[in-house]
Structure 1
Amino acid sequence: MSEPTVRNLQPSESRYEPLPFDGLSPPATPVNESLALPMQELPAGAARPRFQGTALREDGSMMRDSFASSTFNAGGSVNSSVYALNPAGAAGGSTLSSTYLASYRDDPNADYQDESPEPTYASKAGPGYLEEKRAAYLSPRSQSKKWAIIGGGVLLLVIIGVAVAVPIILNKNKDGSTSDSSSDSGNNSSSGPADTGSRNVVTGGDGSSVTMEDGTTFTYTNKFGGYWYFDPEDPFNNGARAQSWTPALNETFKYGVDAIRGVPALYEPYANASISAVDEWTLSENMRADTANGGINQLEDHYKTFITEQDFAEIAAAGLNFVRIPLPYWAIETRGDEPFLAKTCWTYFLKAIEWARKYGIRINLDLHALPGSQNGWNHSGRLGTVNVLNGPMGYANAQRSLDYIRILAEFISQPQYKDVVVIFGITNEPQAPVTGADPLQRFYLEAYNIVRRAGGTGEGNGPMVSYHDGFLGLGNWAGFLPGADRIAMDLHPYLCFGGQSADPVSSFVNTPCTSWANNMNDSMSAFGLSAAGEFSNAINDCGLYVNGVNLGTRFEGTYTGDFPRVGSCDTVLDWQNWDDNTKQQYRELALSSMDALQNWFFWTWKIGNSSVYNTVMAPHWSYQLGLQNGWMPTDPRESVGRCGATHLFAGPLAPSATGGTGADTIPASVSESLVWPPPTLSNAGAIADLPSYTPTGAVPTLPAPTFTATSAHATSTIDAGNGWFNAQDTDGLMTDIAGCNYLDPWVGPTAAPPSPLCSANVAVRNAEVTGVPLHRR
């Protein structure tokens, strides 16, 4: 066989995407064809490899973050990731590679040492990212096709296809093929190229036009280098990026390094002052009685209109990268006489996942309401008493709650959703002072086991499990569940509840730094990832329904308890007439809060107008309103350092937060000391004397959305998952034991247990309690 002919290719002939030389001289050394990646090694139809182009410019202008792939200027446009990705001596390598490989870094905002030691070309070891980039030669659309082939299992390949601030635009041509183009704005924002008459543009940056599901359009405004991505024929593509500094959904979010900056996007019903409704239970009862106006289905109108796709686009444009979405248990089912509108909000949660994916935003799913109520507050579904881990139905309600945690965990652990729904807050604000710390800790460990059984252990397998501190304080959770795989602590710090003050806003600006910063740092070192799941700009409790419907305020002395009147809320809430100084002080308070908390969710993104006052009546709680009127920062990164360098978390996170090793090494002594269920419950007594369920019911698996792909020849349904990731989990749903008696789940802690608990022919109750396998008890 004759030796192959070797000829030098000019850049225009290279099998790589041309490097954007911006008018500068091309590399003096031509690319050798024998070293170029052979096209036959690429899957059929794949685009040529594309790279980020120049890292630094010879003309003296600023480094462009989205292209900053190297730590020094080695000569203009030749300083590109193409050389670092193809080391000398490797297939596809070049003689230039050795110069650049040692200094290449994947994150333009980090020192290259942060990612060392980089793995060798042939090695998968180490924390670096070059192997992932080398595996990501294909365009985002082509990569997702490869993913679809292996979609039946865990997604093994981290896709980096659109992990730069300049988006790749895929234009749908009339014949069904795609063409791609890219745009370089030369700064820290990205603007997608103009639509050139294509039928369907599937991605874009700042200034691009977005067409929503109903056919209406809006202009995407994102000055932070973010870009959206949604292709209806490839709906699970995770190529979108919220901002240039936030990892795209197909990249690893480095907890403890990448800051969580988020808001709750509420999918909860409005409070209507025209009816006697103090919580969703009573609101639902009133609506069910109001058949003339649509009955309970009126709630769906709120779901449809309150939070829309455009809100998600605006959240990304505000520099935020997470949303915390409160979801009640009735997204899955209701039982007995529970009046809630069942399952409907799940439909809109799926829509929220779609929108979050489209704009590169990650989701913290927060299970906000448990059956019987975990805290007795109106936002748990029903204002009243605590009936989870407390009182005669406390154990049965906890069993039922663990089932709902299991059902949600199975759904979000599927490969189609796991890179979007990355944190699972298993219970919002449980009242540990009522239930006691020990039963709550046992419940938390059991929930952890259920989530890990659903999704598996190790980074990328199932969500991070987030625990609320139960109002015990962060210090009481130090060292909880050592060796656990990816757990987080959730704190809800507020300045507005408790004692009230008439002092000016300026006097509170430094309070977050002195009150919160050190506690958060200590918790991240002693527990692991710690975040504020809620905080606001409120320094007093003025605001419509801040304390609940018609409950008054401490500030005006009208709230339950001994609170003297401090002043009138009228001026506090008159945000339309706040002067520039007042707005500036609120802005400074927001910045110091963000810096002190470091990982946070502002409550909330949006508050609707009051139906009585026709304006927002809780302005300190609306991020969107603050952005629009100048008292919230347009770039949350401005907060860094507001509390001083000594308050910044220097790391490392406690090992339980980082994961990534596949290990789940909670010591047996810990597991045994927190075995589920607890032997007794507060206000109830021994578990063996309380109503309990058995796992013999049919599991209500959550439905997936439906997507179809249409070509010139056929229409096919895209695999959206079956709602259940772990096929080995075949246990039934917790349901009534035949022959046993039960109380109403919301009965309250003062009721006596049923007597008799079970009929005489039912097996000994203790056997029922202790005979179920650990993961289902």
Structure 2
Amino acid sequence: MPHSSDDEHRPRDRRRRRTSHHEQERRHRRGHRATDSQGTLLPRPSQRPNDSDRDTPSPRKKRHSTSTPNESSQGSRSRGSAPLSLDALAKLDKQNARKTGWGGYDYDEDYLKEVRRKEKGLERERVRAEKQERRRATKEKSKEEAARRRAYESESVMEEAKLKREKKRQERTEREKRRAVTDDEREERRRRYETKYTPSERAERRERRKEEKRHRTEEKRRRVVSGPLAEEGGVDDGYEYQYMMEKRGGAGSEPSEYTEEELARKKKWKRILIGILAFLIVLAIIIPVAVLMSKKNNGANVQSVAASNSEKPANSNLQDISEDDIPPSAKGTILDPFSWYDTLDFNVTYTDATVGGLPIMGLNSTWDDDVQANEHVPNLRDKFEYGKMPIRGINVGGWLNLEPFITPSFFESFKGSVIDEYTLCTKLGASKCKESLEKHYSSFVTKQTFVDIRNAGFDHVRIPFGYWIVTTYEGDPYVAQVSWRYLLRGIEYARQNGLRVNLDLHGAPGSQNGWNHSGRQGTIGWLNGTDGDLNAQRTIDIHGQLSQFFAQPRYRNIVTMYGIVNEPRMVDLDTDSVVQWTEKAISTIRKNNITGVLVFGDGFMGLDNWQGRLQEDDNLLLDVHQYVIFNVDQISLKHTDKLNFACRGWTAQSKRSMDKTTGFGPTMCGEWSQADTDCTQYINNVGIGTRWEGTMDTGNASTSILTPQCPVDNCSCDGANADPANYSNAYKKWLYQFAVAQMISFEYGWGWFYWTWETEKATQWSWKLGMQAGILPKKVWEREFDCPTKLDDFEEMGLPENY
């Protein structure tokens, strides 16, 4: 801050007050402002700069001024009424005092120590006041930021914020460009410099610059008597400075900032800090080893495809914001980007805005629907004519809710004690489960995944998720809401590739089927049991939130299919209750302006049994999941018979279901695979055997299958689980034809979604691995097979029926 106008009259006031020696001694010492090494008053520290002014030097840096007293005096004279420097005032006081016969104070060592002590105390007070002011400013700023962020209620506000950031980024880029010096300019300057000066002159200039730099460094380290001494006239042409230097380090010694006592104390603290650092290094070595050994002994080392990747994402976009931008109430929550494992392609600008109670944090405010997946389907901006053009889609199962057979690495180390996501999170605990699953969300399905899906010719993606993506309830161990952010990012990746999305609620509160992919294996607690009605209403409430969120304009062209609940096991539930609940769910979703296709499951009742039900909504789609391996009558068919069933049996089912006189009407196959056995690890739940070998012991006589179901004797899973590189040509041919036959059959309805895109090692369940093995088409519309009148006899071709 500048001097007040009263300072201009201080020399005259001082002379008036100094009337006698005794009166001078009675005068109390006044408080003083901080000065530089020459005694010149320093400007008062300003408030903490805004984030946008980070290039401005801090107030602390401004205190180390190198201006000289002469410069200050000359500046004062040039301005006329500007105040003299303290050094000049001190000299003027001494001259006036001597004219009146006073010789000035004779400062002894005790006095100097007292002055230094008080000076340090004043400096501490100044620093404390400065910190308090910064804290106050920070609190005020936090309050202002909180109020401003609460105003983020719409995407238009986010767009405005983005434009402002972009403008600042452009301005910063322009400043950097203006400051940048190209290589050619440097070379031109160097050439001019060498032309202007001889080698000896250049060497002399270099030495002079070095000397000036050394001198500046020394000047910064010097600490001349200042403050009260200068103000009271205690500095006399460097005499006091020399006196202090001799006391501190002896005559002729280099100026030191510290006394011998202070230096000894600093050395002592230095030794203590070195000892602490050495101790911490030892702990850093011992603790990880101990933890690793403990995990090894307990057998609880969870390793998945995601968790095994120890390289954390770069998260470079966090550099554009400050942790101070995150309100204290949001720190560590799902709204705090500094707590996220992965920030790639997320908008990390904080907002607590929600739609339907679901956060928009992480969403970028702009999107582009001018994308076409391939030449066989319309642009996202145009309408997809469902029922006239086939859906050729893929599931991304095992991503946002776990399935043991897709990612067995999550379950193998627990030796049967962990069987689903519920028991996994119970075993690991909240923190470890969040860490493991978020790594999995980040790496199992990525931006490249959707590029590869598009390149394979798909036009739709079905994304399964559990209800814990929205909320959790008392007693739930699931990782709440973290997967929500990855779902939204996945939808944007689908958009970038022209892929339409089918949302799929795969796990409902209480479990709608008791299978592991619902989140919790065991009892059905949805529309069943003590909390059946409660869990039914919870599911309606979740759809209330989801439907509000995805009714936003940004999702109208991309989320064109909305699943109500995956695979409700209606053969074990009251059929009428499930139908009534479905009607209520449809009403809730439509009321929130979801206009796309609503998808409901057949509940394993059989397609023909849906004729005449749920006919009120014209945009409703029946979803059937077709697998030969979970049916003892179909798994026991020989290869040629299975292929014939795919060509003709499923074709007939599709045609009957599409006809409203014999079936529901619009029908599609939401899941299928080319697996011809149930030999895949964990496909029948963790620790359960197979139908194929007759080892499926569920502990319940009514559901166990202890007789081999393969078509011939001596059943074995070795061939089915073999490396695809070792498949025979006959088996590869059969697998390819079996897949194509199913695609043909399901396209007699609205189309299909293959289950699934990727698995850790189950090739017959992964389109990605199947393409690599040569048992699936490179493009989904490429067909090197059609269902002929007569099929090949694969038994005669040498394909074993028992492996």
TM-score (norm 2): 0.49
Distance in 2 between residues matched to 1:436 and 1:641, nearest whole Å: 42
CA offset digits 1:645-670 (Å, max 9, x no partner):
9xxxxxxxxxxxxxxxxxxxxxxxxx
Contact 1:409 1:462 in 2 (8 A): no
**Aligned position for 2:475:** 337
Q: Tell me, yes or no, if structure 1 residue 464 matches structure 2 residue 597.
A: yes
- Find the counterpart in structure 2 of residue 481 from structure 1: 614
CA shift at 1:540, angstroms?
Answer: 1.4
Equivalent residues in 2 for 1:61-76 (5 A)? none
> Do structure 1's residue 434 and structure 2's residue 572 form an aligned pair?
yes
> 1:502 and 1:433, CA in 2 relative to 1: closer, same or farther beyond 3 A?
closer
Residue aligning to 1:624: 768
For 2:554, the equivalent position in structure 1 comes to: 416
Q: Deviation at 1:297?
A: 2.3
Per-residue CA deviation, residues 38-82 of structure 1 (Å, 9 max, x unaligned), is xxxxxxxxxxxxxxxxxxxxxxxxxxxxxxxxxxxxxxxxxxxxx
Unaligned stretches of 5+ in structure 2? 1-153, 157-172, 175-341, 346-362, 698-703, 790-803
Residue of structure 2 in register with 1:557 after alignment = 694
- Residue number among 342, 362, 376 corresponding to 1:245 in the alignment: 376
| SS in structure 2 at match of 1:347 | helix
SS of corresponding position for 1:572: coil
CA distance in 1, matches of 2:717, 2:555: 44
Give the aligned partner of residue 780 of structure 2. 636
Q: CA offset at residue 624 of structure 1?
A: 0.6
Partner of 1:316: 454
CA distance in 2, matches of 1:391, 1:213: 42
Structure 1's 483 and 504: CA in aligned 2 closer, same or farther, altered over 3 A? Answer: closer
Pair 1:521 & 2:655 matched: yes
1:356 & 1:311 partners in 2: Cα distance? Answer: 9
Residue 564 of structure 1 and its aligned partner are, at CA, apart by: 1.5
**Structure-to-structure mapping, 1:693-704, within 5 angstroms:** none
Structure 1 position 353, deviation (Å): 0.6
Q: For residues 394-417 of structure 1, what are the alpha-carbon distances to aligned partners after superposition, in whole Å with 9 as ceiling and x for unaligned?
A: 111101111111111111111111
Greater mean alpha carbon deviation, residues 496-505 or residues 530-539: 496-505
| Distance apart, 1:514 and its partner CA | 2.1
Please give the secondary structure, in 2, of the residue aligned with 1:470. Answer: coil
- Partner in structure 1 of residue 681 of structure 2: 544
* 1:584-663 aligned within 5 A: 584-598=733-747, 599-608=751-760, 616=761, 618-639=762-783, 642-643=786-787
| Residues 677, 692 of structure 2: 8 Å contact kept | yes
1:284–1:508 distance in 2 versus 1, CA, 3 Å:
same
1:277 equivalent in structure 2: 418
Q: 1:483 deviation in Å?
A: 3.8
Residue aligned with 1:285, SS: helix
Q: What residue identity is the alignment partner of 2:518?
A: S
CA contact (8 A) 1:412 1:462 kept: no
Question: Identity of aligned pairs, percent?
Answer: 36
Is the Cα contact below 8 Å between 2:737 and 2:785 reproduced in 1?
no
SS of equivalent residue, structure 2 residue 781 = helix
Q: Which residue pairs with 2:492 in the alignment?
A: 354
Instruction: Decide whether aligned partners of structure 1 residues 437 and 589 sit closer, same or farther in structure 2, where only a CA change above 3 A counts.
Output: same
Shift of 1:502: 6.8
Where is the strand percentage greater, Structure 1 or Structure 2? 1
Distance in 2 separating the partners of 1:451 and 1:578: 47
Q: Secondary structure at the match of 1:570?
A: coil
Aligned twin of 1:44? none
How far did residue 300 of structure 1 move? 0.6
8 Å Cα contact 1:362/1:420 also seen in 2: yes
Paired amino acid for 1:625: L
Distance 1:395 1:259, change over 3 A: same
1:508 aligns to what? Answer: 642
Judge conservation of contact 2:763–2:770 (CA < 8 Å) in 1: yes
- The reply on whether 1:531 has 2:693 as its aligned counterpart is no
More helix by proportion, 1 or 2? 2
Match of 2:726 in 1: 577
Gaps of 5+ in 1: 1-149, 153-173, 176-211, 216-231, 456-460, 609-615, 646-777
The one-character-per-residue Cα deviations of 1:541-566 (angstroms, maximum 9, x if unpaired) are: 11011111111111122112133134
| Partners of 2:741 and 2:471 in 1: CA distance | 41
2:716 aligns with 568
CA deviation profile, 1:81-118 (whole Å, cap 9, x unmatched): xxxxxxxxxxxxxxxxxxxxxxxxxxxxxxxxxxxxxx
Distance (whole Å) between structure 2 residues aligned to residue 256 and residue 328 of structure 1? 29
Q: How far did 1:485 drift? A: 3.3
Q: Provide the residue aligned with 2:442 in structure 1.
A: 304
Distance in 1 (CA, whole Å) between partners of 2:635 and 2:788 is 26
1:442 offset after TM fit, Å?
A: 0.4
Q: Aligned residue for 2:276?
A: none
Distance 1:538 1:388, change over 3 A: same
Shift of 1:381: 1.0
**Counterparts of 1:555 and 1:318, CA distance in 2:** 32
CA distance in 2, matches of 1:478, 1:547: 31
Could you give the per-residue CA deviations for residues 406-455 of structure 1, whole angstroms, max 9, x where no partner exists? 11111111111121111111111111112121111101111110111011
Q: CA deviation at 1:316?
A: 0.9
Q: 1:401 aligned to 2:539?
A: yes
Maintained 8 Å contact 1:541/1:547: yes
Paired amino acid for 1:285: T
Gap change, CA 1:425 and 1:644, over 3 Å in 2:
farther
- The whole-number CA distance in structure 2 between the counterparts of 1:281 and 1:505 is 37
Change (3 A) 1:562 1:546: closer
- TM-fit CA distance, 1:633: 1.2
Question: In the aligned structure 2, how far is the partner of 1:346 from the partner of 1:524?
Answer: 35
**Aligned residue number for residue 755 of structure 1:** none
Cα distance between partner residues in 2 of 1:501 and 1:253: 36
Structure 1 length-normalised TM = 0.50
1:496 aligns with 2:639: no
**Deviating more after overlay: 513-522 vs 445-454:** 513-522
Shift of residue 286, structure 1, vs aligned partner? 1.3
Match of 2:517 among 358, 379, 401: 379
Task: For 1:562 and 1:470, locate their aligned partners in 2 and report how far apart those are by CA, in whole Å.
Answer: 22
Compared CA separation, residues 317 and 471, structure 1 to 2 (3 A):
same
Supply the distance in 2 between the matched residues of 1:514 and 1:239 (Cα, whole angstroms).
Answer: 39
Q: Distance in 2 between matches of 1:442 and 1:644?
A: 43
CA separation in 2, counterparts of 1:238 and 1:563? 53
For the pair 1:325 / 2:468, whether they are aligned, the reply is no
Tell me by how many angstroms 1:639 deviates. Answer: 4.8
1:257 is displaced (CA, Å) by: 1.3
